[in-house]
Amino acid sequence: MLVHRHDWSLQRKGYLDQERHRERVREAIRKNLGSIVANESIILSDGKKTIRIPIRSLEEYKFRYDYRKKKHVGQGAGDSRVGDVIGREGEGVGPGRGPGAGDQPGVDYYEAEVEIDEIAKLIFEDLELPYLEEKSKHAVHSRQLRFGEVRKTGILPHLDKRRTLLENMKRMAKETGRAQIGPLHKEDLRFKSWDEEIRYETNAVVIAMMDVSGSMGEFKKYIARSFYFWMVRFLRTKYDNVKVVFITHHTEAKEVTEEQFFTQGESGGTVVSSAYRLALEIIHQRFNPRDWNIYPFHFSDGDNYYSDNDEAVRLADELIATCNLFGYGEIGEEEYAGYRRSGGALLSIFTERLKNKDRFVGVRIDRKEDVYPALKAFFGRRGETV
Amino acid sequence: MSDAEIKALEKAIEEIWDKACELGLDPFPIHFEIVPATVIYEIGSYALPGRYSHWSFGKAYHKMKLMYDLGLSKLYEVVINANPAYAFLLEGNSLIQNKMIIAHVIAHVDFFKNNIYFSKTNRRMVDEAVTHAERIREYEFKYGRKTVEEFLDAVLSIQEHINPDLFIREERAEAVERPKPSPSKSGKYDDLFALDEPKRETSTKTDVEEAPRRFPPKPEKDLVRFIMTHSPVLEPWQRDIMAMIHEEMEYFVPQLQTKIMNEGWASYWHTRILRELDLTDEEFVEFATLHANVVSPRKGSLNPYYVGFKIFEDIERRWDNPTPEEIEKFGRQPGKGREKIFEVRQLENDISFIRNYLTQQLVEDLDLYIFELRDEEEWVITDKTWERIRDQMVADMTNFGFPVIEVLDGDYNGNRELYLRHRYEGIELDIEYAKKTLEYVYKLWGRDVHLETVVDGETLVLHYDGEEHWED
């Protein structure tokens, strides 16, 4: 009996259908961006490149039994006893996980392995940086060499061997009628040539401000965190160099590390102007608006000390004057989604009283799903610049 | 693989083939082929080489390939039921691994050829699948890839709902055509009807009463065929695709019905055959390791290789050494083990195999148990009574693990709506899935669809009208 071997190198069916599947995954992601943006496994991914997100629309639906409501036959290692717990629900143990006898359909909700960069690409598709152009004038530029052109003269170290041989073959084909390599003539020689390229290095700084007063709980911090996660990622796609300054405040503001920013305990009342004052100081000392694109963002629950409101508005105006965009996010209570605050909250005060509203964006976030619309509000396409 | 290695492999195949035939196996000729991992996973995930394209195969392929790349599981071979049969061996198997795999493959092919449930399968299915793929590709070209893909999504959602009883072929064709209310009856009351004739023309009411329409005449389990034949909205190319998928499923059904037996049979024989070959000590150790891998119990679920292997060994032992009682009661003669297992491989499928040959002793030796979800939280072992375990396994394999859904009425509400019924036998449907699947059925039928089932002891009917779901 013979053993056959074929050349399968052109066989790509599996790969092609895998691509079809990936396309479907991408479509499903696009449809679910709202909930994916605030997905814990992304935000808390700590530099992981890929994440797994459950995507329901990719299941192959069939009429099947409710596996949670039926009995199953399993196999032990010889010591199983009635009453033994063999797994917890949702932990990957259970029926249908292996090629079981009845092949009962099991927990087959599909988890797509997706690169965070890919999700980012989808999210950022619709986003852009407002008011970027004018700042780029001030950007620092750097020189770089780039080989791009081919010439007939040059120095030997720059000889482009591949092109030279190609030219040689062309000439031989013309002369002898056959495309072959023959003796090299001077006219065959091709040289690489370089250009000097001037690149603009753009810098951006995000001034992340967050209220850590007593009323800012876990949920509110998480929202702020998801927002900053995507914002910094997004800015990095636009600028060569993105710096982030973290400021927390209750009645006083201070600059903190990223770690502290997201983990610090909460206490005390709220004086918003303290944060804006510190931000202005930092800009003044370290980030000259002529060289930097500046994006201050502030998250709070909107409960400012009444007497501080005037000062807050004044400083916010001042910030707006020095920055590309000033963003303010007011985070509501998760349980009270939809419930609107009275006129005393900061967002309504800002919308009423700010002098320069073109570069101010205020949004309200009540649920995780609101993060994506908030991103869009901050970085969505705008009609025209000021 | 070098030429010398190929030569060695060919020699091994000759040797194992001769040994297998000498021991009584009777396979089709086999076309052996060495293929790289990408190809074996492709054939494995499509179940047939050259089959049509669909993203669900791509998903399976990706999953299998990933498991392989991560070293979690490996597909050593894929065997295709055809005459001649095809066996694809993974490139890079060692010679001794291949010897075991070849013995395993020969037993699978013997099973395909001789088990009665396979007797009606199309042995030219590989060619058939390729022409199907070509036709579907043409449709993609003509009607657009997305259109065809979405249609396939819908058909595949019900592809298991065909009538797999390969021995009872109903007179189909015109028999299930929509019945016309016809007065042409022949019976002893014919003359009475004739008297009524003038009246019946004016009064349609009595007409309905005396001839209650049934369409289909009795509940139809073959959803694919019924919808393909009677759907008011399908285009010819769509019916063609459904016919192709129906045909492919008919081919696969016997494999679904004999998974435990087929793997058990192959594992039994690779053990027997390898024992008879001259192996060096090292080879034997490598073989034993691989064999142990294949037939080891798997935590939480059943390993068909292991269960089937154990049952075949047990049958052979019991028929080789019958107890005095068995000799007296059944007239069983000692030493008939081999003969008996050949009979079993010919006549049984998984359901009868388990029902007839899974004994109390085996249930205990295999440490089988019943487990279920308690308090929505923990999966707990709830029963170790052997009869109940056996019956549960049989229940799980009935209709190869899928709920039975029947067409009760193809002209529901007198409006050509489709009324389906889940034949409830104590296990509830996954309602979310059922709703999604109804959306697909709607796509195929084009009119409102209804599904009757039972939830918490009460009848529930799911409805879908193309836009909204409701239930009552």
Same domain, A209 and A308: yes
Q: How confident is residue A99, by pLDDT bands cut at 50, 70 and 90?
A: very low
| Residue B467 backbone phi and psi in degrees, to 5 | -130, -40
More confident residue, B94 or B186: B94
pLDDT for the residue numbered A58: 65
A232 lies in a domain? yes
Confirm or reject contact between A10 and chain B (CB < 8 A): no
Q: Is residue A214 left, alpha or beta, with left meaning phi > 0 and alpha meaning psi from -120 to 50?
A: alpha
Q: How would DSSP label each residue in A218-250?
A: HHHHHHHHHHHHHHHHHHHHH-SEEEEEEEEES
Q: How confident is residue B460, by pLDDT bands cut at 50, 70 and 90?
A: very high
Low-confidence winner among A128-132, A160-164, B40-44, B104-108 (lowest mean pLDDT): A128-132
A92 lies in a domain? no
Question: Could you tell me the residue range of the domain that residue A55 belongs to?
Answer: 17-42+49-62+110-122
Same domain, A333 and A213: yes
Low-confidence winner among A96-110, A364-378, B295-309 (lowest mean pLDDT): A96-110
Same domain, A178 and A324: no
User: Contacts by B127-131 with C-beta closer than 8 Å and gap 24+?
Assistant: B128/B247, B129/B48, B129/B49, B129/B50, B129/B51, B129/B52, B129/B248, B130/B50, B130/B51
Cβ contact B10–A18 (<8 Å):
no
Same domain, A190 and A206: no
Same domain, A303 and A206: yes
Other CB atoms within 10 A of residue A308 CB: 18
Write down which residue in A135, A164, A199 finishes a domain: A199
Q: Do the strands B378-383 and B405-412 form a parallel or antiparallel pair, or are they unpaired? A: unpaired
CATH code assigned at A304: 3.40.50.410
Alpha carbon distances (Å) from B14 to A1, A162, B7, B10, B18: 6, 52, 11, 6, 6
pLDDT per position as a tens digit, A276-317: 999 999 988 888 887 788 889 898 887 787 788 888 888 888
pLDDT for the residue numbered A235: 75
| A159-186: average pLDDT | 86
With a cut of 90, say whether residue A141 has pLDDT above it.
no
| B381-410: average pLDDT | 93
Which candidate in A71, A85, A108 is best for mutational testing of the B interface (most B CBs within 10 A)?
A71
Other CB atoms within 10 A of residue B192 CB: 9
Cβ contact A16–B157 (<8 Å):
no
Q: Which of A123-132, A170-179, A366-375, B259-268: highest mean pLDDT?
A: B259-268
| A192-201: average pLDDT | 71
Chain B residues near residue A11 by CB distance under 8 angstroms: 38-39, 42
A325 lies in a domain? yes
The pTM assigned to this predicted structure is 0.70
Q: How confident is residue A249, by pLDDT bands cut at 50, 70 and 90?
A: confident
With a cut of 70, say whether residue A103 has pLDDT above it.
no
Percent of chain A with pLDDT over 90: 3
One-letter amino acid at A34 equals G
Q: How confident is residue A92, by pLDDT bands cut at 50, 70 and 90?
A: very low
Rounded CA gap, A300 and A209, in Å?
A: 9
Q: Is residue B377 packed enough to be buried (19+ CB in 10 Å), middle (13-18) or exposed (0-12)?
A: exposed
Chain A residues near residue B433 by CB distance under 8 angstroms: 59, 61-64
Same domain, A207 and A188: no
Q: Per the structure, how many domains does chain A have?
A: 3
With a cut of 70, say whether residue A96 has pLDDT above it.
no
ipTM of the complex: 0.85
Write down which residue in A199, A216, A242 finishes a domain: A199
Cβ contact A73–B369 (<8 Å):
yes
Same domain, A186 and A228: no
Same domain, A280 and A333: yes
A333 lies in a domain? yes
pLDDT for the residue numbered A341: 47
Cβ contact A104–B401 (<8 Å):
yes
Low-confidence winner among A207-221, A371-385, B187-201, B446-460 (lowest mean pLDDT): B187-201
Q: Give the list of residues 6+ apart from residue B414 with CB closer than 8 angstroms, or none.
A: none
Task: Select the residue of B301, B370, B405 nearest A100 (Cβ to Cβ).
Answer: B301
pLDDT per position as a tens digit, B330-356: 888 899 999 999 999 999 999 999 999
State the number of CA atoms in the 13 A half-sphere of B183 facing the CB: 16
Strand-pairing partners, residue B30, are: B85
A161 lies in a domain? yes
| A330-338: average pLDDT | 64
Q: How confident is residue B385, by pLDDT bands cut at 50, 70 and 90?
A: very high
| A225-252: average pLDDT | 81
Low-confidence winner among A110-119, B23-32, B279-288, B423-432 (lowest mean pLDDT): A110-119
Which candidate in B302, B306, B439, B444 is best for mutational testing of the A interface (most A CBs within 10 A)?
B302
Torsion of CA A226, A227, A229, A230, to 10 degrees: 120
Chain A residues near residue B305 by CB distance under 8 angstroms: none
| B40-55: average pLDDT | 91
Rounded CA gap, A256 and B378, in Å?
A: 44
Low-confidence winner among A39-53, A141-155, B280-294, B423-437 (lowest mean pLDDT): A39-53
| B429-447: average pLDDT | 94
Same domain, A303 and A175: no
Task: Select the residue of A11, A14, A85 nearest B380 (Cβ to Cβ).
Answer: A85
A319 lies in a domain? yes
Q: How confident is residue A16, by pLDDT bands cut at 50, 70 and 90?
A: confident
Same domain, A210 and A349: yes
Confirm or reject contact between A2 and chain B (CB < 8 A): yes
Sign of the CA dihedral A149, A153, A154, A158?
positive
Same domain, A225 and A340: yes
Task: Select the residue of A4, A89, A105 nearest B373 (Cβ to Cβ).
Answer: A89
Same domain, A206 and A285: yes
Cβ contact A99–B303 (<8 Å):
yes
A55 lies in a domain? yes
Q: How would DSSP label each residue in B303-366?
A: -HHHHHHHHHHHHHHHHHS--HHHHHHH-PPTT-HHHHHHHHHHH--HHHHHHHH--HHHHHHT
A223 lies in a domain? yes
Per the prediction, chain B carries an average pLDDT of: 88
Q: Show the tokens assigned to B358.
A: 């899974």
| B138-157: average pLDDT | 95
Question: Domain boundaries in chain B?
Answer: 3-115, 117-166+213-240+403-472, 295-399
Write down which residue in A154, A184, A199 finishes a domain: A199
